[in-house]
Structure 1
Amino acid sequence: MIGYGQGFLKPYRVIDLTDHRGLLAGHMLAQMGADVVQVEPEGGNIARQLPPFAPDWPESEQSLFWATYAAGKRSIVADPEGDGALWERLLRSADILIESYTPREGRPFWLDPGALAERHPHLVHVSITPFGLEGPKHDWQDSEITLWAAGGPLWLTRGHDDRPLRISVPQAYLHAGATAVSAALIALTDRSRTGRGQHVDLAVVQTLPQCTLGAVLAEGGACRFRAAQEGGGRACRGLERQRIDHAQVQVDGVGRSGGDASGHRAGGRSRVQQADDVDARRGLVPPHIQRLGLEQASREDHLQGGERGRSRRGSGLGAILSHRAAQG
């Protein structure tokens, strides 16, 4: 690996005001060569207190979490509110500002996106918050498990003794940190064209659905293959998959031209029937294959079990690709 300060971001400076919610972002940018300055309060960043610990290290440096995700950064103790002149000097010298102050805890006035953009139009400003800076959940309490649940990944463990099963190693904020790096680089590239920075409002919860992608593909392939082999029934909707044609179906299942909570429109066609039509028009599902409800399919798998279920899952994607090749 190229040493810190030697990558393609060597000409750029990053001001990092993140805690555990975004600490990885600055570390990754430092690995790419950027000069990352971690701004800490008088008592130190709260991430310095997170386990695991190395008891034989100096008292203020025992957090292995901090040692890992703060590696490659420089650190400065500063109070942006009390020392506005120093804060302005840091901003003038920076290309990217990354911070993770949440609306629930109270965001300081000196991080107002509009004011920063007016004074420092060159700056790429990335805000990492649990649910975004605006919207109905912006000030909700956050934790690892609530974000996983809100973002979708806990759906996969929903049947575990009627309670969700948390992933053992915290990952939600790490996904957000990595996504923040991508967002900052995109904004930096755009600045090279326009000469202006921009504000990126990144919600942790919006970065997590990507973790279900493998399950979506696997479940969808297995269910479609199962429906094809059984010659009927309703092919699965895979992980509550709703093929949304905005001219017909809303995300909440109620038709735009009227309907009820069960998903039936005034015309009498259900949400699933409309989704069938959408899939057929797009060529996503062969017209003769109907949909098999996911819950029914799951129950059948548990009852049948054994090699039959495994062999179907193993060849489902191949069957779909073969069918599409034949149709094409």
Structure 2
Amino acid sequence: FQLESNAGAQEQEARGRGGRRLEQDGEAGAGEAGDGQAGDAAAPERFAERRNLEDLWLSAFPIGTEWGNIDKIKEFNWNFQNLEKALEEGGELYGKTVYLFANTEPQQLHVNGEQKMVFVPTVVAVDCPCAPSDKVGINYVQRAYEEILPMRAMKMSWVPYVPLEDRLSRIEGLKTKIFTLHCSQRRSALKHLKTERVKKFDYCMPYYMSLISPEEDHDTTVDIIYPLEPPIVCPFDWEMDNYEEFTDDLVKAEELPEDEKENFKAKEARKEAIDNMDPEKKKAFENIKFHKFYPVNALDAPDLSIQKADYINRYYMKAHKWS
């Protein structure tokens, strides 16, 4: 799942493949006129059978999956030809800039005649001309606490994916429109990290700040509801009211606890960030699309006659299309 760590092996593999192709080209005439020995010699060549985007899904880090369960994903030879076809010529995502990250969904599946908990990988392809975000969200379930961090704080980043047929090209001259989520955290170093730091990876998910959809009411006055006991419901005008004065008045009236001011501040900051967003980026986000892919059935993988869900996570919410 770490593209960076596999780059050397992939380059070596590609060079070997290129050398063998040159040998085959040079011996083609002899093979046609000979007794079939050249054809037999070429039989071990298997690289031509590999699909151009076959390892794409493996290049996308399965964010939010516990480190101890990542190896379980590779127990089966999962097949994502539906994702590959979508990105190839004639596919819905062909020629578009896409950003991919992986997740896992635990499912009870039939494996060798018995029920087994299987970590089914899914891949989300974000159709957007710019990166959907450079942040991740850490959601501590037990504490009901959320933390938004830069990707680099969790050693994550978007990296270009190089299809198999392009791995003989010089990287600096390569133009790719496919990017995958990469994590450079070495698993061997986890034992040296504090438990809380390791747990952050378990609770991590890609962050995305969605825009207000055009279908929503554009009235600037909204009802702010605080889930207290009893609940507080009060009208707030985004254009006319000042959030500091608004919250101070509620605190003075003892209707709003002091620590709830920060939650309101976060909502105001989100709206301000959207208002100040670069017009080109805002336009890109208005047309952004999420595609969620499950593996397709394969002979050496469990039967995937399962209920497929469009839900991605609390930030991306639902996929526009899923298969």
- The structure whose residues are more often helix, as a share, is 1
TM-score over 0.5 (shorter chain): no
- Of structures 1 and 2, the one with the larger relative CO (CA 8 A, separation 6+) is 2
